[in-house]
Amino acid sequence: MSENKIRNTSRKPVVLMSMGAQERKGHDYQVMTHKYIQPLVQFSGCVPVLVPTCCGIDDLEQYLD
């Protein structure tokens, strides 16, 4: 048997957070401020996954697979 053992622990829920577009000094960025991420982690105990939307939102369902 492998030395890598899977623990029988419950998984934290995963929450997709869509990022916003912002331009800074002539460059486009995908951003998410800490003030939106921190409460999710602190109060719900979830794992936030930041999802860039710069190429559209058509593929968001694939993040769940």
Q: Where are the domains of the chain?
A: 14-55
The whole-model pTM stands at 0.63
Give the pLDDT confidence of 33-61 residue by residue, as tens digits: 899 999 989 999 899 998 888 777 677 67
d(CA 21, CA 41) in angstroms, rounded, equals 23
d(CA 48, CA 43) in angstroms, rounded, equals 12
The DSSP letter of residue 26 is T
